[in-house]
Structure 1
């Protein structure tokens, strides 16, 4: 009996360099650390909200203006997002997906980003700047999970497309893209070194 897969959840993974000139990860990391050191408003927000490490999400909205490398990064991300939108077969009505937010994440040893999604956006994603040995992957959750009220658990050897949670371990220079409704989290960073990434949202219209 043939069995079809319906309502597939797509995850895009590529090297940044596949859609433009290479972005120097060392320069990008230096820029992230410099901004984090100077961003007193962001530091204060993290402290007030018990946020581990640092994020510029609540403090800075102009990274592309502050450092040329972020402007270059945004140009490359625009191309990746356009490629993913094509794969998703979106009918955008002649309007491109546009960058809404872009922010820095620095996750120290013991830090976590709890499970969340990105409402009001279309595509979300992260590019990875520093991933020391032992640092955490990103975990995605089956979006049907809240509706599986009486379902038994999946076997430990279930295929990836049948699992409730999927862990993805990106490399420096990778970009991951997903639809913004997909719930995800970053488990505890077990490395003594910082995990550095840049995340972003794209909106339509």
Structure 2
């Protein structure tokens, strides 16, 4: 009898923030994101110079947990989610823990995109979603084996999710997604007239 099994799994963690702590008020978090974006002149300048649509604090701020208490609360919850994901991945961390390396705000307006990329110096990356209006783009995840499939045919329409070349995940506000940092991902064009708001982060080892 044939034995067919899946090997080398790519894991994706999805959960409500409230599963690992007190609920985070997404309305307060949204207001904090806009307040920081309005005051962050260095971040605004970086976005303009680099052609980044909307706003990101990635290149300008490293202290969100200090600026607003709600970000400190968020980080505490994210720490627990990352610990849960690390257990699922069966990492042997030894005496070194996974620690928050950086955390940043993303405000993507109508028509904005964020091209395909990875986070090469981290172990676990992720995003928690603050505002996902109708029409806002889902997160697009790419099969990491894709560059090696030089002569492979395309998958059938409706193929099992684990066999698809790309998977789209549309989270709700108050949810968090986690993945290993080598997993290539992107944000397609935001087709909503309203902003798509998220907070992204990286965790490193040691």
The two structures have a TM-score, normalised by structure 2, of 0.99
> Any gaps of 5 or more consecutive residues in structure 2?
none
Cross-structure match for 2:119: 118
Cα deviation digits, residues 151-171 of structure 1 (max 9, x gap): 010111101000000000000
Cα offset, 1:95, TM superposition? 1.5
- Size of the alignment, in residue pairs? 205
The DSSP-based 3-state class of the residue aligned with 1:33 is helix
What is residue 109 of structure 1 aligned with on the other side?
A: 110
Which residue does the alignment assign to 2:161? 160
Aligned residue for 2:46? 45
Q: Secondary structure of the equivalent of 1:23?
A: coil
Match in the other structure for 2:84: 83
Q: Which residue of 1 aligns with 2:174?
A: 173
**Partner of residue 136, structure 2:** 135
**SS of corresponding position for 1:178:** strand
Equivalent in the alignment of 1:94:
95
Q: CA deviation at 1:94?
A: 2.1
Whole-Å separation in 2 of the counterparts to 1:195 and 1:90: 33
Q: The residue matched to 2:66 in structure 1 has which SS?
A: helix
Shift of 1:26: 0.3
Post-superposition CA distance 1:105-144 (Å, at most 9, x none): 0000000000000011000000000000111000000000
> Can you list the C-alpha shifts for 1:27-53, whole angstroms capped at 9, x where unaligned?
000000000010000000000000000
Q: What SS does the corresponding residue of 2:158 show, helix, strand or coil? A: coil
Give every structure 1 segment of 4 or more consecutive aligned residues whose post-TM-superposition deviation is greater than 3 Å. none
How far apart are the structure 1 equivalents of 2:95 and 2:89? 15
In structure 1, runs of 5+ residues without a counterpart are none
Q: Distance in 1 between matches of 2:78 and 2:106?
A: 17
CA RMSD of aligned residues (A): 0.4
What residue number does 1:65 align with?
66
Whole-Å separation in 1 of the counterparts to 2:5 and 2:133:
40
* Aligned residue in 1 for 2:16: 15
